[in-house]
Structure 1
Amino acid sequence: MAYPDYLDPNTAESTRLVTPRNATLLLIDYQPQMIFGVGSIDRQLLLNNVEALAKTALAFELPVILTTIAASSFSGPLIPQLARLFPERDAIDRSAINTWADHRVVQEVRAIGRQKLVMAGLWTEVCLTLPVLSALEAGYDVYFVADASGGSSTAAHDLGVQRMVQAGATPLSWVQLLSELQYDWARKETYDAVNRIVAEHAGAWGTGGFYRATFSAAPDRALAAIG
């Protein structure tokens, strides 16, 4: 990813920022049975948010690791919103509740070699919290996307978030991550992709983009500009 001439990626203002070059995304257990059990967020909103998160990773070429738990016996396959975005990538299926307990996941993280791990998953209080805690203890900088994750209840989600934050993980929203990765609107190679994601998934922000575009283009061209 190229930066504008006036930005020096070697002297960024904070080493805590997530960039297209320092992060890996782990999407944990997005399966039908896990979706059924979510009670902390509207399920359709959850599906919207995780699809937006996955598209964000593709737009910025982040490495992505997909996992499932007991896919053939209990939880079902990876949801279609993710399967169609990653048609050539198999999810790592496991039996252990903690994703980090599966050596294949840890080996892939190590092979990618990035220090920052961004995670989202179902359910927040179990299948997300456990690998977040484990990765922190393994020395990684860990972020989790709270609004693309869901717990079995609001209380369970909130307690999971508190536990991860207390351990040192950083909470994000998917829009926050998208904006942080874009970093500068002069970064043209991802500008169109970001605007498509916003138009498809960011509600009022996407509508605002269409409204703005109508002032600089005919309505049909405005639709194309954000779609």
Structure 2
Amino acid sequence: MTIFTPQDSALLLIDHQVGTMQLIKNIPHDVVKQNAIALAKTAKILGLPVVLTSSQETNIQGLLLSEFKEILPEAYSARVQRAGIVNAWNDPNFSAAVDATGKKNLIMAGVTTSVCLVYPVLSAIAAGYQVQAVMDASGSPSKLAEDVSWRRMENAGAILTATDSVIAELGQDWSTAAGSQLIQVLFQHVLPSISA
């Protein structure tokens, strides 16, 4: 079993756009949004390379979440704006950006799971990458669409995970300076409060 570390991992956030977010019906929109923000903050804290992509921003899909621009301004400016290619991996600008990270472990989330995430996950695995797909930072128009996408990704060798789990895996030690920041991210965006 491979443990993903900050030294060998990159974060890919696919089509977390204000319009496409409205298509999610299997999980509350705000849960997906908060988890995606937590992943972005985790990448910033740990120095993970980040590749952002969007599809047809000027259409109904809209812009990426504005929080990404605040948290990861360089990645946001360098985002791959696809003209309409469904599988982001098939956009040479996207696959080149992923390759340029130099990392072989990819942490991926996307909206929707059933269209925007499943295909680049399958393509990345076929290209020799190890992939963790963060399912609570992704979502689909129906439970059925989500379920069959999970099955397809798992059958191809993807590791399905959740935001708190991947943050813990990357952080490894809450007592470090980075670990204490990650705890704050978890309780701000992911976990329910445990204070009385």
- 1:17-96 matches, within 5 Å, as 17-89=3-75, 90=77, 91-94=79-82, 95-96=84-85
> Does the alignment pair 1:167 with 2:156?
yes
Q: Which amino acid aligns with 1:185?
A: W
Q: State the alpha-carbon separation in 2 of the partners of residues 121 and 30 from structure 1.
A: 6
- Opposite residue 181 of structure 1, the aligned amino acid is L
Matched position secondary structure for 2:168 = helix
Matches of 1:86 and 1:42, distance apart in 2: 24
Instruction: Decide whether the 8 Å contact of 2:163 with 2:190 is kept in 1.
Output: no
Which one-letter code corresponds to 2:62 in the other structure?
G
Task: Write the distance in 2 (CA, Å) between the matches of 1:191 and 1:139.
Answer: 30
The alpha carbon displacement at 1:73 in A equals 2.6
What TM-score, normalized to structure 2?
Answer: 0.93
Report the secondary structure of 1:48's partner residue. Answer: helix
Match of residue 200 from structure 1: 188
Q: Deviations over 1:68-116 (max 9, x none)?
A: 0011133111111222212233221112000000111111111111111
Which digits, 9 at most, give the CA deviation of each residue in 1:142-187, with x for residues without a partner?
110001000111111111111000111001101001111111234x
Q: 1:157: which partner in 2?
A: 146
Cα distance in structure 1, aligned partners of 2:52 and 2:139: 17
Q: Any conservation in 2 of the 1:118–1:143 contact (CA below 8 Å)?
A: yes
Confirm or deny: 8 A CA contact 1:47 1:81 kept in the other structure.
Answer: no
Alpha-carbon contact 2:40-2:72 (below 8 Å) kept: no
The one-letter code matched in structure 2 to 1:52 is A
Unpaired runs of at least 5, structure 1: 1-13, 212-227
Whose RCO is larger (CA < 8 A, sep 6+)? 2
- Using the TM superposition, give the Cα deviation of residue 189 of structure 1 relative to its aligned residue in structure 2, in angstroms: 2.6
Report the alpha carbon displacement of residue 40 of structure 1 after superposing the two structures with TM: 0.9
Corresponding residue number in structure 2 for 1:190 = 178
CA contact (8 A) 1:18 1:180 kept: yes
Report the count of equivalent residues: 193
SS of 1:88 mapped into structure 2: helix
CA contact (8 A) 2:173 2:179 kept: no
Give the Cα–Cα distance (whole angstroms) in 1 for the partners of residues 132 and 154 of structure 2.
9
Instruction: Tell me by how many angstroms 1:54 deviates.
Output: 1.1
Match of 2:119 in 1: 130
**Which residue of structure 2 aligns with residue 8 of structure 1?**
none
Q: Which amino acid aligns with 2:188?
A: E
CA distance in 2, matches of 1:130, 1:191: 33
Consecutive unaligned residues in structure 2, runs of 5 or more = none
Structure 1 residues 167-176 or 45-54, which shifts more?
45-54
